[in-house]
Amino acid sequence: MTTPVETTVTVAPGVRLWTERRGDPRAPALLLVMGASEPGLSWPDPLVDRLAAHHQVIRYDHRDTGASTRVFDEAPYPLAELAEDAVRVLDALDVDRAHVLGLSMGGILTQLLLADHPDRLRTASLWSTFAMSTTPLRHDDGATTPVEELPGPDEELIGWLSGLTPRPDLEAELDQRVEKWRRMNPGPLPLDAADFRTREERIIAHSGRWDDSWAHALADQSGLLRTDQLAANTVPTLVIEAPADPVVPPVHARHLDQVVGATRLVTIPGLGHAPVRRALDPIADAVLAHTLA
C-alpha cells in the first residue's frame, strides 16, 4: 500500500478543498463522495484500504466541511454546485475518468454526475440515497406510487438531529456524535462506539473545530431533478440497499433501480445509514465486484 498523499485543490475563487489519494496512482481512480456535512475522513479507513488495493482512491472534504474552505455564510451556493466540485477535484488531480461511490447526499451528487458528466465516470455506486427523478415507483402488482408519496426519513430521528448544537466541551461533543451514528444504525449490525469515537476525534483534529456547518442543509436544492437523463443512463451503476436505514428507507433503492438506466441492485443485510465495521467488507466486496467487472 502506498503512502496516502494529501493536498488541497482550488475549485472556485477563494474555495479550496482538502483531498487525499491512497493506492497505486497508476490504478483506475475511485472517487468517494460523502454525505451532507460530513468530511472525507468519515469514509472509514478499513473500507478505503480495501478499495485502495485495486484503485487509486480519492476522498475529499466538501466545501464547508473538514479542512476545506467554509464559504457558505458569505457566498451561498446551490447544492448542485457540490457535484461540480467533484468534477473540479478530478480535473485538479488530472483524472480523466473515475469510478464514483456516493453515500447519502453523495449519492445525489453522483446521480448529477451520471446525468451531467457521464463521460467522466467509469462506473457509479449509489449507497443510501434518494432518486433525482420524478418517475413513480412501479410495484409488482402493476400499481405505482408517486415519488412524493414514498416514505421519507424517520421523523423521530429528524427531530433529534434538528436539535443538535455544538457541545461546550470535546467529550460532550464526542458523546453527541457517537449517539448520532447510533441512531442512524438501529439495525442488527453492531455499532462499535469506541471505533466511531476515535473516528470523530480524528475528524475534529483534522478540521480544527467541532462546530458543524449547516450549509448543505440550507443550500438551494432546486434544479436537481434529472428524470430523462437518468433513465437514459448507460454508465454501469450499482445500487446498494440498506434495509435498516432510518434516513433513506430501503424502498428508495428499489426506486433507483427502476428509474436509473444500467443499474444492478445489491442488498447488504442489516445495513443502516452508519458505515459500521461489520458492514465494510460486504460493501467493499459489492463495490469491487462492480468496478472490477
Distance in angstroms (rounded) separating the CA atoms of residues 96 and 229: 21
State yes or no: is 290 an active-site residue: no
- Helix H segments across the chain? 45-52, 81-92, 105-116, 155-162, 170-183, 193-207, 215-218, 227-231, 251-259, 277-291
Distance in angstroms (rounded) separating the CA atoms of residues 15 and 220: 18
42, 68, 104, 207: which is the annotated catalytic residue?
A: 104
62, 99, 255, 273: which is the annotated catalytic residue?
A: 273
Question: What cell numbers appear for 144 in the block?
Answer: 405505482
State yes or no: is 54 an active-site residue: no
In this structure, are residues 268 and 259 in contact, taking their beta carbons and an 8 Å threshold?
no
Which helix (DSSP H) or strand (DSSP E) does residue 137 occupy? strand 137-138
Which of 132, 91, 111 has the alpha carbon at shortest distance from 33? 111
61, 85, 212, 245: which is the annotated catalytic residue?
A: 245
Amino acid code (one letter) for 249: P
State yes or no: is 212 an active-site residue: no
User: 292: which DSSP letter?
Assistant: T
Distance in angstroms (rounded) separating the CA atoms of residues 170 and 176: 10
Active site residues: 104, 245, 273
